[in-house]
């Protein structure tokens, strides 16, 4: 297996023990004036540990609020009980990645054009670097990371055989999580753990596995895509001069769509992290807390992402929007759209793409994708994209009047799948797999932080209703 993270030259010995230096890959590219991602992460380890030690020794007994019965029976909403470094979600202003909003990240992070490719959107590789280090990378650092990922993107033949053996009728998300779990066959973390590696060094093979997995996700996804939908090159060819998403888009047979390539870069970059409490991030973190390797941990996250209230929503939104279009035609009146919204609600269904467990304003990720649509003539004229924009105006008043959801505004899924559809990527069942490529760049960095800080196994306390009653009746 390729080692992604180890620079060819001059590793600080405290940060990278001998066995990792020895594993340095000939594929790993080093630019004279740049550091590798491994170097950049190693640099922040002492400060992160110091910050953690200070919190632990000075504030362990400080309260972050009380736990109410409503928290226990209400999906733990609002309970501050998890450490998550990469991003913080504010109910009003939305997500920030190490303090940067989406527009700020778009200004600061290197784009495809910055590394000599075509495209104006954030490269997911840049976001990955930011999430892991808290700093924006230089253009050279991202170029190097992009090349390292490309070099490690090829699938081992045992995995190709496993993927090819799945029935075509198996949902692509089930195939995706199974294939990801199977990669633990090659886990550097599992191997190092069984050799008795010191706890303080756990973060290193975790980083190595995480980058290996991120590098391979596009090829896993596109092999599934080829097997199920018969589109793409079938071989998951990788051109090391292309970035992660350009290669992926070629692999699934849409490589000539410059608009889709740039859309997917933005999509993957901004879907990556949404703090720790969402199901996919939390599941990855929870399973990882048992020191399961990154492949097993992220497979758990993907299984959560496959739920209709979480990642599957983008598939649901498109199905629902097309149903709406079929019922009311391509140029419906406002009243026809509103009636359809009411019909959905009265039948006891949710309006997919609306509402959020934390956000109380329109999702800034939705806003970023909408802005992308405004910049592209091919999307501005597209009937589905136009319908998505109209819905974002018409649905909130209906949902407010309906009176149930705490957030009547669009979330990211209200737009994400519809834009894919407009670009001709109309295999709905694949949409959550694309989300799954993205979530890895947020959930896996946290596993690295978990192990850098030596976080313990998660074990919250549960209570039966009987036990609960005894406590509250006192």
Is residue 301 part of the contact set for ligand FAM (CB under 6 A)? no
- Residue 340 tokens, joined: 């359809």
Instruction: In angstroms, give the least distance from the CB of 349 to ligand FAM.
Output: 7
Q: Which of 271, 310, 363, 450 is catalytic?
A: 310
Residue 53 CB-half CA count within 13 A: 7
* Residue 356 falls in the annotated catalytic set: yes
Q: Which of 274, 356, 363, 450 is catalytic?
A: 356
Is residue 275 part of the contact set for ligand FAM (CB under 6 A)? no
Which residues, at least 6 apart from 217, have a Cβ–Cβ distance to it below 8 Å? Answer: 180, 436, 437, 440
Binders of ligand FAM among residues 361 to 420 (CB under 6 A) are 404-407, 411-413
Q: Total number of residues binding ligand FAM (CB under 6 A)? A: 21
According to DSSP, the residues that pair with 96 across neighbouring strands are 88
Nearer to ligand FAM, 106 or 411 (CB): 411
- Residue 432 tokens, joined: 């959550």
Instruction: In angstroms, give the least distance from the CB of 456 to ligand FAM.
Output: 27
At 94, which helix (H) or strand (E)?
A: strand 94-97
- In the list 310, 376, 439, 451, the residue contacting ligand FAM (rule: CB under 6 A) is 310
Nearer to ligand FAM, 351 or 419 (CB): 351
Which residues, at least 6 apart from 141, have a Cβ–Cβ distance to it below 8 Å? Answer: 31, 34, 35, 36, 37, 40, 129
Instruction: In angstroms, give the least distance from the CB of 324 to ligand FAM.
Output: 14
Instruction: In angstroms, give the least distance from the CB of 354 to ligand FAM.
Output: 4
Instruction: In angstroms, give the least distance from the CB of 330 to ligand FAM.
Output: 24
- In the list 35, 356, 376, 439, the residue contacting ligand FAM (rule: CB under 6 A) is 356
Contact at 8 Å (CB) between 287 and 296?
Answer: yes
Q: Calculate the dihedral angle through the C-alpha atoms of 271, 272, 277, 281, rounding to the nearest 10 degrees.
A: 120
Nearer to ligand FAM, 46 or 74 (CB): 74
* Residue 310 falls in the annotated catalytic set: yes
Radius of gyration (C-alpha) of the chain in whole angstroms: 22
According to DSSP, the residues that pair with 410 across neighbouring strands are 354
Nearer to ligand FAM, 88 or 237 (CB): 88
Is residue 306 part of the contact set for ligand FAM (CB under 6 A)? no
DSSP state of 91: T
- In the list 127, 130, 357, 447, the residue contacting ligand FAM (rule: CB under 6 A) is 357
Q: Measured at CB, which residue is nearest to ligand FAM?
A: 355
- Residue 130 tokens, joined: 């930011």
Instruction: In angstroms, give the least distance from the CB of 355 to ligand FAM.
Output: 2
Is residue 350 part of the contact set for ligand FAM (CB under 6 A)? yes
- In the list 53, 67, 170, 309, the residue contacting ligand FAM (rule: CB under 6 A) is 309
Identify the three-state secondary structure at position 354. strand
- Residue 274 tokens, joined: 């949404």
- Residue 11 tokens, joined: 């590793």
Is residue 281 part of the contact set for ligand FAM (CB under 6 A)? no
Distance CA 311, CA 305 (A): 5
Instruction: Spell out the alpha helix ranges (H) of 90-134.
Output: 102-108, 124-133
**Interface ranges with ligand FAM (CB under 6 A):** 278, 309-311, 313, 345, 350-357, 404-407, 411-413
List, by residue number, the catalytic residues: 310, 356, 413
């Amino acid at each position: 297996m390729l080692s992604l993270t180890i620079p060819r030259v001059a590793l600080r010995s405290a940060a990278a023990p001998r066995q990792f230096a020895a594993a340095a890959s000939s594929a790993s590219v080093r630019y004279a004036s740049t550091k590798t991602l491994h170097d950049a992460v190693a640099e922040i380890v002492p400060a992160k540990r110091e910050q953690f030690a200070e919190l632990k020794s000075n504030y362990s007994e400080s309260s972050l609020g009380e736990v109410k019965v409503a928290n226990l029976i209400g999906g733990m909403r609002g309970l501050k009980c998890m450490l998550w470094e990469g991003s913080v979600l504010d109910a009003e202003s939305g997500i920030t990645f190490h303090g940067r909003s989406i527009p700020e990240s778009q200004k600061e992070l290197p784009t495809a054009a910055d590394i000599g490719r075509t495209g104006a959107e954030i490269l997911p590789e840049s976001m990955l670097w930011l999430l892991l280090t808290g700093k924006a990378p230089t253009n050279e650092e991202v170029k190097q990371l992009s090349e390292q990922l490309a070099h490690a993107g090829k699938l081992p033949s045992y995995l190709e055989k496993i993927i090819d053996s799945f029935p075509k009728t198996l949902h692509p998300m089930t195939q995706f999580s199974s294939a990801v779990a199977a990669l633990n066959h090659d886990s550097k973390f599992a191997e190092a753990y069984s050799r008795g590696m010191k706890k303080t060094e756990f973060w290193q093979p975790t980083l190595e596995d995480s980058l290996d997995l991120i590098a391979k996700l596009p090829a896993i996804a596109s092999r599934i895509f080829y097997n199920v939908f018969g589109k793409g090159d079938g071989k998951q060819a990788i051109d090391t001069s292309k970035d992660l998403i350009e290669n992926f888009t070629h692999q699934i047979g849409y490589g000539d769509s410059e608009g889709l390539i740039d859309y997917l870069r933005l999509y993957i970059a901004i879907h990556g992290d949404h703090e720790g409490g969402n199901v996919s991030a939390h599941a990855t973190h929870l399973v990882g807390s048992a020191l399961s390797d990154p492949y097993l941990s992220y497979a758990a996250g993907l299984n959560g992402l496959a739920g209709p209230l979480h990642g599957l929503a983008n598939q649901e939104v498109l199905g629902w929007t097309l149903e709406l279009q079929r019922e009311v035609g391509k140029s419906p009146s406002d009243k026809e759209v509103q009636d359809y919204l009411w019909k959905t609600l009265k039948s006891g269904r949710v309006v997919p793409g609306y509402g959020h467990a934390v956000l109380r304003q329109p999702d800034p990720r939705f806003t970023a994708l909408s802005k992308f649509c405004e910049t592209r003539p091919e999307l501005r004229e597209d009937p589905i994209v136009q319908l998505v924009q109209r819905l974002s105006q018409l649905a909130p008043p209906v949902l407010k009047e309906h009176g149930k959801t705490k957030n009547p505004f669009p979330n990211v899924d209200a737009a994400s799948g519809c834009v894919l559809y407009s670009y001709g990527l109309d295999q709905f069942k694949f949409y959550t797999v694309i989300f799954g490529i993205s979530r890895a760049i947020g959930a896996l960095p946290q596993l690295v932080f978990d192990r850098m800080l030596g976080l313990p196994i998660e074990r919250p306390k549960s209570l039966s209703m009987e036990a609960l009653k005894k406590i509250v009746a006192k």
